[in-house]
């Protein structure tokens, strides 16, 4: 019903050894996209922004 405890332990140790030997450069790095300036926003985004913050000439 259960696996051999020694085989399970050996597999776990082998997996931990492989992970420890993996070079640091292959580890995932979290990055953020740079913020867009006003000139880079799409027209649809600009129209959506105006729904919540109408331009001064619409007041």
Residue with the bigger pLDDT between 45 and 58: it is 45
Question: What pLDDT, in 10s, does the model give residues 31-50?
Answer: 777 766 666 678 888 888 88
Q: Residue 14: its pLDDT value, please?
A: 95
CA distance 49 to 52: 6
Q: Residue 39: its pLDDT value, please?
A: 64
């Amino acid at each position: 019903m259960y696996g051999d405890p020694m085989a399970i332990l050996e597999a776990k140790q082998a997996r931990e050894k492989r992970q420890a030997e993996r070079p640091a450069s292959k580890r995932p790095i979290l990055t953020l996209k740079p913020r867009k300036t006003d000139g880079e926003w799409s027209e649809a985004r600009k129209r959506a922004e105006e729904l919540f913050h109408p331009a001064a000439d619409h007041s």
